[in-house]
Structure 1
C-alpha cells in the first residue's frame, strides 16, 4: 500500500479526548511511513504533535463566524499544495467549512473525506454535517445507534472504532512512583491510610457530583476509613453549582471524607491508588475514556448502565453496571466491593493500538473505493 498524506482538522489542540485521539492517530501515521498533517487554531498540545513527526498548520477553523468561510480557498490551496489524500474532520463547524471547500472542487481533484462522530449532538441540519464523510467513524455502539436513528445514515458508510488506551501505559499492577506518592500525601495528608473512592469528572450536575456525595453519605455510615476524591475542574460557569455542592457536603457532615482536587494532570496515578472509580453521568457518555483507563489499570468501576461506559463494563466488569440514578445501589455495591474487590477482565478490545490500526484501515478503504459520493 502506498504512503498516504492525511490531514486531520479540529478547532484547537488545547486538551480533551478528541484532541488526544488526533495526536494518537497522527503518531501512528508517522510510524507507519505516512505523512501526518493537522489543521487547528493551535494550543498546548501542538508541541507534542510536532515532536512525534506531524506538521501543524494554524487556521482558526473552529471560529464560529461567517468570516471563517474565507478559509475555504486557503484550505483548497493547502490540499493541492500538500497533495492531501485524506481529510479527516472531527468537529461540526470545521466540518461545514471543510465540506463547502471539498464540495466545490472537481471530483478528480478532491481528497477523500472522513468524519468522526465523537458524541451526541443536538439533532438537526447543523449536526448532520458530521455524517457528510465518505466514511463516518463512530466511537461506540451507542453513538452508532444515535447516528442511524437521528440521521438515517447509510450503514455502509459507518465504521465503529472504539476509542482506546495504551495498554502498555495502563495495565494492571501499575503503581505510582514513590516520589509522586510522597508529593501527593504532602499535599493531601487527609488521604493517607484511607481507602480512596474516586470520581474523575468535571464538577457539574450532569457528571454526577451530587450522586457521588449522596453515595458517600451512605457508605460513611459503615466505614470511617474511606476518603472520596472528586477529581476535575470547576468551570467558570459552574461556580454556583460547586458552592451548592460544598454546602451539601458540609450539611451531610462529610467535609472530612471528601476532597475536591480541581483539575489534575495526574489522574492516572490517582486512579491507580483508588479502591473504586465511578462514572455517574446523568446522560450517557459517548465513550468514557477515563472509565476505560481505570478498568485497564485493573481498578474496579461502578458506572451507570448507559452509553459507552455500559459497553465497557459489559466487556470488562459486568457487575459494575448500575441502573441510572440508583444511588442506593451504587452505595450497596461500594460496600460489597470494599469487603471483597471484584476481578476486572483484561482490556483486550479497547486498545490504542487497535484504534490506530482500524483508523488507518478506514483511510486505505476510502482510498481504494473508486466511487466518490456527491
Structure 2
C-alpha cells in the first residue's frame, strides 16, 4: 500500500514539474515586440480606430507601440494609452509618395522595430520601397493589412510583398493569391476586424429617455417591429433590395417598419431622391424611415427585430453584422463577402444567396424575434489583437 502511495506522489510531482517547464518555455519563447503601425492619418474612422485599439492591446501585453502618421484628432488618445507618435508628411496614393522614401528609411533605422504594420495602399507601397534592398535578417518584418480587393499593379505591389500579410477575410486572401501566385500559403493570415464589445454590450439596457426621444422625432415607429438596414447609402449599399424585400414582407405583416440608418455616400442627393421615389412606387411611404447617419447604433440594434446587410459589393470587414450579432440580433445577409463568412461561422441561418428575393423574404420572416446566443468576445478588439500578435511572433520565430 505504501509503495503504491509513493508511486502516486512521484507521479503527482512529475506532473507539477512538467507544467512548470511548459510555463517557462512559453515565457522564454514569447518575444516582446516593438511594433510600428504606419497609417495615412489619425482621423476618426475604421482604419485609425483599428490601429488605436491594436496599439492599446500591444501596450497592455507589455509590447512597445509606435505610430507613424500625418496625425489627426486621435493622436492624443494614442499617446494617452502609451504609444509613441512620430509625425510624417501626408502621402498620396501614387508613385509621387516615393519622395518620402529616404525619410521613412531613416526613421525606421533609428527606431529599429521588429514589425512594420501598414494600413492602406500608400503606406504599404512606401514602406516596401523604403525597406527594399536591405538585408532580410536586419530589417524589420513588413506586414500589410489588406481589407479589400485590389488589382495587381506596381503601386499595389507593397501589399503583395510583405513578409506576412493580414487579410480581413478569406475572400480577400483568395484574391491576393490570385493577384500574386508567388505568395506563400502560410504568409497570409486571415484575421477579422474586431469591434468594441464594451460599447455593443447586449446586457446594458436601453434608456427609456432614448426611446422617448426617438419616438417623439419619428412617431411612425411607435408600435412597430423595426427591420434595420445600417450602412452607407449608395447604389451598391443594398438599400434598393431592402425596399423590395420590405414591400413584400409588409404585405404579409402590417406591423413591420423599415429603418435605414447610414450616411449618404459622397452627398449624392440624386441617389437619395431615387431611393425615396422607389419607396413611394412600392407604397412604402409610411412604412420606411431614413434616419441618416447615427451615433446611437447600439440602441438601434437593441430595439430592432432584424438587421440586414445586402450590399452588392463584397465588404471587407462586416462591421455592422458583427455589431448586431454582438447585440444578440439576428442578421440576414448575402453569402458573399466578409459578412457571409462571419455568418457562415456564427449565424448560418441568416445567409441568403444574392438575387434570391423569395428566399430573402422567407429567411427574414422565419428569423423574426430569434435572438442569437453568441459569445461577443469572439468579435472583440482583444481577440483580433491577440491573433495579430501571435502572427507577428510566428514571423519572427
Q: TM-score, normalized by length of structure 1?
A: 0.90
Rounded to whole Å, the distance in 1 between the matches of 2:154 and 2:99 is 22
Matches within 5 A, 1:82-93: 82-93=111-122
Rounded to whole Å, the distance in 2 between the matches of 1:149 and 1:317 is 29
Rounded to whole Å, the distance in 1 between the matches of 2:207 and 2:151 is 43
Matches within 5 A, 1:319-338: 319-338=349-368
Q: Is the 8 A contact 1:116 1:136 kept in 2?
A: yes
Rounded to whole Å, the distance in 2 between the matches of 1:292 and 1:209 is 19
Rounded to whole Å, the distance in 1 between the matches of 2:295 and 2:80 is 20
Mapped pair 1:226 → 2:240 = no
* CA positional deviation for 1:203: 0.5
**Structure 1 spans left out of the alignment, 5+ residues:** 369-374
Structure 1 pair 65/160, CA: closer, same or farther in 2 (3 Å)? closer
Rounded to whole Å, the distance in 2 between the matches of 1:14 and 1:227 is 35
Deviations, residues 215-255 of structure 1 (Å, cap 9, x unaligned): 11112212232221111111235322111111111222212
For residue 115 of structure 1, give the secondary structure of its aligned residue in structure 2: strand
Rounded to whole Å, the distance in 1 between the matches of 2:209 and 2:151 is 45
Q: Is the 8 A contact 1:171 1:298 kept in 2?
A: no
Q: Is the 8 A contact 1:61 1:93 kept in 2?
A: no
Rounded to whole Å, the distance in 2 between the matches of 1:107 and 1:336 is 55
Partner of residue 7 from structure 1, selected from 33, 36, 45: 36
Structure 1 pair 328/350, CA: closer, same or farther in 2 (3 Å)? same
Mapped pair 1:306 → 2:336 = yes
Q: Which moved more, 1:172-181 or 1:20-29?
A: 172-181
Mapped pair 1:258 → 2:288 = yes
- Equivalent pairs counted in the alignment come to 367
For residue 261 of structure 1, give the secondary structure of its aligned residue in structure 2: strand
Q: Is the 8 A contact 1:61 1:94 kept in 2?
A: no
* CA positional deviation for 1:66: 4.5
The residue that corresponds to 1:294 in the other structure is 324
The residue that corresponds to 1:276 in the other structure is 306
The residue that corresponds to 2:15 in the other structure is none
**Structure 2 spans left out of the alignment, 5+ residues:** 1-29
Rounded to whole Å, the distance in 2 between the matches of 1:169 and 1:328 is 35
Partner of residue 244 from structure 1, selected from 269, 274, 288: 274
Rounded to whole Å, the distance in 2 between the matches of 1:314 and 1:348 is 17
Rounded to whole Å, the distance in 2 between the matches of 1:267 and 1:342 is 17
Deviations, residues 253-297 of structure 1 (Å, cap 9, x unaligned): 212221222222222221121110001011222231210111111
Structure 1 pair 143/66, CA: closer, same or farther in 2 (3 Å)? closer
The residue that corresponds to 1:34 in the other structure is 63
Rounded to whole Å, the distance in 1 between the matches of 2:256 and 2:79 is 43
For residue 114 of structure 1, give the secondary structure of its aligned residue in structure 2: strand
The residue that corresponds to 2:6 in the other structure is none
Deviations, residues 11-32 of structure 1 (Å, cap 9, x unaligned): 2222433322211211101111
Larger radius of gyration: 2
* CA positional deviation for 1:92: 0.9
Q: TM-score, normalized by length of structure 2?
A: 0.85
Rounded to whole Å, the distance in 2 between the matches of 1:90 and 1:285 is 17
Mapped pair 1:146 → 2:175 = yes
Rounded to whole Å, the distance in 1 between the matches of 2:187 and 2:367 is 43
* CA positional deviation for 1:169: 4.1
Q: Is the 8 A contact 1:92 1:126 kept in 2?
A: yes
Q: Which moved more, 1:247-256 or 1:289-298?
A: 247-256
The residue that corresponds to 1:184 in the other structure is 214
Deviations, residues 286-339 of structure 1 (Å, cap 9, x unaligned): 23121011111110000011122122112222111011122232223223333x
* CA positional deviation for 1:346: 3.5
Rounded to whole Å, the distance in 1 between the matches of 2:291 and 2:223 is 18
Deviations, residues 115-156 of structure 1 (Å, cap 9, x unaligned): 111111234343342121101111222222222222222112
Deviations, residues 170-219 of structure 1 (Å, cap 9, x unaligned): 34444333343333333333323221111111001211010011111112
The residue that corresponds to 2:5 in the other structure is none
